[in-house]
Amino acid sequence: MTLNGWFQILLFCGIVFALVKPLGGYMTRVFSGERTFLSPVLVPIERGLYAIAGTGEREEQHWSAYAFAMLMFNLLGVLFLYALMRLQAGLPYNPAGMGVVPEELAFNTAVSFVTNTNWQNYGGESTMSYLTQMAGLAVQNFLSAATGIAIAIALIRAFSRASGKAIGNFWVDMTRAVLYVLLPICIVLTLVYVWLGVPQTFGPYVTATTLEGAQQTIAVGPVASQLAIKMLGTNGGGFFNANSAHPFENPDAISNLIQMVSIFLIGAALTNVFGRMVGNQRQGWAILAAMGVLFIAGVFVTYWAEAAGNPLMQSLGLAGGNMEGKEVRFGIVLSSLFAVITTAASCGAVNAMHGSFTALGGLIPLINMQLGEIIVGGVGAGFYGIVLFIVVAVFVAGLMVGRTPEYLGKKIEAKEMKMAVLAILCLPLAMLVFTAIASVLPSAVASIGTAGPHGFSEILYAYTSAAANNGSAFGGLTGNTPWYNVTLGIGMLAGRFLVIIPALAIAGSLVTKKTVPASAGTFPTDGPLFVGLLVGTILIVGGLTFLPALALGPVVEHLSMIAGQMF
């Protein structure tokens, strides 16, 4: 590790921190229905969309109606995207002549993009037409991100309102998320990426002649526009197979920094939205602090492990960090930082191959995902994910002092705890059960690229990434098989909707409760003690659940390398 490396890490953290409050204030005005500088242009469009949907900005929904609207909208998204891929061979904007996407792959991809996972069992430049990339994948990047934001805002309203019945309107929240937040920022980002050298064209692929006289096809397309929402919406699905390691998606250190900031931007700002809407910004800063502690710890371990390098190489007298699977233009520090950011935020974009990291370097991305999208997390998903752990943490605190648990004046009772535990447990269920089956199923084992503990890590990482709605992968696994396409798709659905529905049920329960004034015995939830309790709860739950599986993969791999170094 170097001083320059830590300077780059702190620079990233400083930029994100500086943007939290301005963006948080803007988003609070948007979702509170207040006027913004974009209102003169967007209000007529917004009201037109409400008219088409048959709703209005003042019409609100019970949590069950909110959940039903969300589920039906996402179901239609899956069906539309599946049909688009199955019919793309006969549709326009297909200059490379891409054929029909096979059934299992089309199912996996449709579910992947609708659930904000963006797991890719295909190479984008060799599988998807321009129409599919833009009208299908990029559109779902916007809509899946807007869905996550809408759920987070609905949950925030549950804490900010008292003795109510409604938690908002899904159509209004999603529309405002797209029009006022995602689209304006993405337009600016797209122009910046084009300026930095990212392609944005409907022209055909370019054929070049090499110095040896060979013909080489260079894939281009509408890359910049998809790249902008890919990062801002924590989607992660790349136009190219190499994702953000490809020079057309991530040309240099400047584009890399912009992409990393984009990943954290909205998720971090939502903590400030929470603080503003509940009337106490310290509550939002406390949540962000808990996220920050877990994030910095992960960066430290990953950067240290990759800078130290492979112990077996050191035993041969080859000192130096681990550059395997990394781009020279980013180096160890920016590759390590990107890996932690993309898995902490459930984005899934990669600028280096995680399967080529050291055992401990690859362990942290796994843990980030297994903790359940709570270290900033996906846009919106990170916030409602950490609220589930807050419910558990304050319940434990209440039991320790013999008081009825409460958070922001709302009593946390049996119903909220049951829903929180249900949501938290669905992730390890999807991750570990499918991993166990795939580890003994011959057809599934045949897809791994490496035998031994690293091969097990490839399987564990795949199902962890799917259920956590992340989408990154250890590169050695061949996932485009019927087994993995179907089971990973099921894992994505479980990881998305079996968390959202209990979270909305909690919102529906809390919004009906009165707000109890704080007293001398109220546990403070805006200070260091609460941050420590929340971090401890997250680590204990994650550690007890996933430690045995991690011990069979990256932990034993690291120990075997140390043993090899000794002998």
Each residue of 380-429: pLDDT tens digit? Answer: 888 888 999 999 999 888 877 777 788 888 888 888 999 999 998 888 99
In a domain, 525, yes or no: no
The contacts of residue 77 (CB under 8 Å, 6+ apart) are 110, 114, 140, 143, 144
Instruction: Give me 174's structure tokens.
Output: 């999603």
| Strand ranges in 162-271 using DSSP code E only, listed in sequence order | 206-209, 215-218
In a domain, 229, yes or no: yes
Cα–Cα dist 154/160, whole Å? 10
Q: At what angle do helices 381-401 and 139-160 cross, to 10 degrees?
A: 30
The contacts of residue 47 (CB under 8 Å, 6+ apart) are 57
Beta bridge partners of 326: 352
Cα–Cα dist 166/158, whole Å? 9
Instruction: Determine which helix (DSSP H) or strand (DSSP E) holds 390, and give its type and residue range.
Output: helix 381-401
Residue 281 is predicted with a pLDDT of 92
Cα–Cα dist 137/93, whole Å? 14
Q: What is the pLDDT of residues 497-516, one digit of tens each?
A: 999 999 999 999 999 988 88
Average pLDDT, the chain: 90
Contact 471, 496 (CB under 8 A): no
Give residue for tokens 């079996």. 498
Instruction: Give me 268's structure tokens.
Output: 């971090």
Contact 447, 479 (CB under 8 A): yes
In a domain, 284, yes or no: no
Instruction: State residue 411 phi and psi, 5-degree precision.
Output: -70, 130
The contacts of residue 139 (CB under 8 Å, 6+ apart) are none
Angle (CA) 253 258 262, round 5° = 145
Q: CA of 94: how far to CAs of 91, 140, 198, 310, 453, in Å?
A: 7, 19, 20, 45, 42
Cα–Cα dist 301/305, whole Å? 6
In a domain, 95, yes or no: yes
Give residue for tokens 């846009």. 379
Rounded to a whole number of angstroms, the CA Rg of the chain reads 23
Task: List the chain residues with pLDDT less than 70.
Answer: 314-319, 563-567
C-alpha distance across the termini of the chain, in Å? 27
In a domain, 507, yes or no: no
Residue 524 is predicted with a pLDDT of 84
Instruction: Give me 83's structure tokens.
Output: 């049909």
In a domain, 116, yes or no: yes
Cα–Cα dist 364/322, whole Å? 16
The contacts of residue 494 (CB under 8 Å, 6+ apart) are 426, 427, 429, 430, 467
Residue 567 is predicted with a pLDDT of 45
Residue 315 is predicted with a pLDDT of 66
Residue 317 is predicted with a pLDDT of 66
Cα–Cα dist 397/507, whole Å? 21
Q: What is the pLDDT of residues 546-565, one digit of tens each?
A: 988 999 988 888 888 776 55
Residue 400 is predicted with a pLDDT of 78
- Residue range of the domain that includes 260: 21-205+218-279
In a domain, 408, yes or no: no
Instruction: Give me 18's structure tokens.
Output: 């500086």
Contact 180, 30 (CB under 8 A): yes
Instruction: Determine which helix (DSSP H) or strand (DSSP E) holds 411, and give its type and residue range.
Output: strand 410-411
Query: Structural domain tally of the chain?
Result: 1
Residue 217 is predicted with a pLDDT of 86
Of 499, 545, 538, 503, the residue nearest 415 (C-alpha): 503
In a domain, 248, yes or no: yes
The contacts of residue 140 (CB under 8 Å, 6+ apart) are 77, 81, 113, 114
